[in-house]
Amino acid sequence: MKDCNILIRDALESWGITFYAGVTGGGLIHYLKNVDPFRADGDGGGFFNLAEYCAGFAPIGYFLASGKIGAAVATTGAATKLICCGLSDAKLHDIPAVYMVPISGSSSAGFAPLQDSSVFGSNVMAQLAAELPDSFFILDSRATLAHRLSLAKKQLDNSKPVVLVLDNEGLALADAAAPPWCEDQPADVEEKDPIGDFIGLFRKEVKGKRLVVLVGEEVARYGNGSSLTTQLSVQFQAATIWSINGANGAERNNPYGYGYISFGGNDLAVEIFNSLSQGDVLLMLGACPDEYTANFSRISASAVFYASGIRNAYGTVQGSIGHFALGRYYQMHAQLDIFLEELIESSKAEKFENIASERAPSYLNVRPFNGASEGYADMAALHLMLDQWWPADSTGIDDVCLAYKDRQYVVQRPNGNIKFYSLYRGSAMGGAFGAAVGAKLACPQKAVFLFTGDGCFRLFSGSMAEVSRLGLVVFLLNNGTLGIVEQGLLQILPDIDEPHYHSKLQPIDYCAVAEASGWEAFSLCPDFSNLDFLLDKINVGLSKSLMIEIPVDPRQILGSNPRLKNL
């Protein structure tokens, strides 16, 4: 009779899940002994040893770069809590990932076991179940193993992360034969023609009104999503705006693309969103009106149409975002690529009578870029230079630092050579490092770039040695402070003395830390005189990971932070 650990591993493998990141020990050793080590020249599968905080984000980057699902593993106690920082972002961004943790055996309850996870200790199962009530599965019996795994698979198929809790005591009991893996699941009941009905209502609502399209991050999960977005914008002559990650579902050459909205948003895109009224219809493509997108604003359009391929996506309440709409609200569940193709074809067959928008101007901001003080790199100039350089088919990750607010304001439109991602909904400082590692492990042949801050560095620097040979490129923004916080406090607390901001950081020789971890490291000259040298090193290929420290002026304010109004 097969060991249950092998049965679980085989089930995950049959779903295409072969990558694991984390630290072994305790209740994991008998599972991980069946998993091969990660090999740089392999197929992207195997176990990669990475400290738990970073490991929790690795499956997120792994999925974003490749579309493949990965797993993070941790043993009981603090390790479980550490990987769950990444679990939260996977939930908040609807990213399928597996989080596997063991628990203390039931026979030890009341006997104060090491790293007690029972109700007498951390009570971790209640915590995990509270965060993922529909995606929390205790694997504690051979008899129920197949059923619970099949339920977990269904959640992954709906772009949800899952927690698999290993009760090794329960799994070791031979209380029943293991049932077959495949179980029939009741099919989701769909409307007779959800897309056709939705388009019919859409045709009526847009007549005589301006159409605005808001592109969310879900669109980028379809290979032709960004192209379809452009076709839609052109066919309807519709002003098109996008969220931070929604830019990956748009194209730079979209003639009706008005840019990013809200946090770090472009002035003209924000103006369009704020101008929505009874003379407008808003079409939301997999978008979540979260705080960094809509900033708690309700949508004033006469009608809101919401399309998504994910059921109960984050931001919905009982499956709906109707609570954001002041006017009429319609929603549909369908694959977005199929929906967009049918909507475009329907318009070609019989033109919709919406009011056409003007084409977007080449420059999408009103405010000029602020300059940097002497001795600091001008981040506006650097973002623009890199925007002209990015290698084709690259992946970029923005950490919780000034870059994840400023980059989009400066470059204004997505770049066809690189997809940038920000895990802004959880805003976990330093988490982007783990995501960047996962992205690089998923696609070693692709260039992966991370923008992170000197504050974020403190949360991942202990894991740098493990990834020193990956060829990862990190741009470290060193401004000696928690930049997002300090820039905000200048506006929120203008009458408070700066020492009471509590935002200053002690200096570190960041390059020395990187080099001691096996990396190459250089400081960028404020006048960019060595930038070509550094970019040439990347162009010829890296045998080591590379960190580029950038001296940043914390007072160079570029992208806006409308969230400050809420503080």
pLDDT digits (tens, 9 = 90+) for 441-494: 999 999 999 999 999 999 999 999 999 999 999 999 999 999 988 899 888 998
Q: What is the pLDDT of residue 406?
A: 96
pLDDT-derived band at 108 (thresholds 50, 70, 90) equals low
**Under 8 Å between Cβ of 564 and 538:** no
The average pLDDT across 190-199 equals: 83
Spatial neighbors of 23 by CB under 8 A, at least 6 apart, are: 49, 50, 51, 52, 55, 73, 74, 75, 79
Give Cα separations from 529 to 253, 403, 523, 524, 558 (angstroms).
31, 21, 11, 8, 23
State the residue for tokens 């770090």. Answer: 264
Tokens representing 193 are: 């023609």
Q: What is the pLDDT of residue 178?
A: 45
Query: 160-164, 203-207, 484-488 — which is least confidently predicted?
Result: 484-488
Q: What is the pLDDT of residue 26?
A: 86
The average pLDDT across 360-375 equals: 95
The average pLDDT across 154-171 equals: 95
Helices 124-131, 78-92: inter-axial angle, 10-degree rounding: 10
- What percentage of the chain reaches a pLDDT higher than 90? 83
Reduce the DSSP state of residue 147 to 3 states and report it.
helix
Q: What is the pLDDT of residue 119?
A: 85
- What percentage of the chain reaches a pLDDT higher than 70? 95
Residues β-bridged to residue 239: 212
Task: With a cut of 80, say whether residue 430 has pLDDT above it.
Answer: yes
Tokens representing 280 are: 């407008």
512-567 confidence digits (pLDDT tens): 999 999 999 999 999 999 999 999 999 988 999 999 999 999 999 999 998 888 88
Q: What is the pLDDT of residue 2?
A: 83
CA 415 – CA 392 distance, rounded (Å): 10
**Under 8 Å between Cβ of 457 and 510:** yes
Tokens representing 209 are: 């009104």
The average pLDDT across 340-368 equals: 97
59-96 confidence digits (pLDDT tens): 999 999 999 999 999 999 999 999 999 999 999 999 99
The average pLDDT across 485-509 equals: 91
pLDDT-derived band at 43 (thresholds 50, 70, 90) equals confident
Task: With a cut of 50, say whether residue 182 has pLDDT above it.
Answer: no
Q: What is the pLDDT of residue 173?
A: 84
266-313 confidence digits (pLDDT tens): 999 999 999 999 999 999 999 898 999 999 889 999 999 999 999 999
Task: With a cut of 50, say whether residue 186 has pLDDT above it.
Answer: no
**One-character DSSP codes across 430-493:** THHHHHHHHHHHH-TTS-EEEEEEHHHHHHHGGGTGGGTTS--EEEEEE-SB-HHHHHHHHHH-
Spatial neighbors of 236 by CB under 8 A, at least 6 apart, are: 206, 211, 213, 347, 352, 354, 356
The average pLDDT across 220-240 equals: 98
Give Cα separations from 229 to 65, 97, 383, 474 (angstroms).
21, 27, 25, 31
Mean pLDDT of the chain: 93
Q: What is the pLDDT of residue 179?
A: 45
Q: What is the pLDDT of residue 114?
A: 74
Task: With a cut of 90, say whether residue 192 has pLDDT above it.
Answer: no
Q: What is the pLDDT of residue 107?
A: 61
Strand-by-strand arrangement of the 546-551 sheet: 418-422, 394-398, 448-453, 473-478, 546-551, 520-523
Q: What is the pLDDT of residue 332?
A: 97
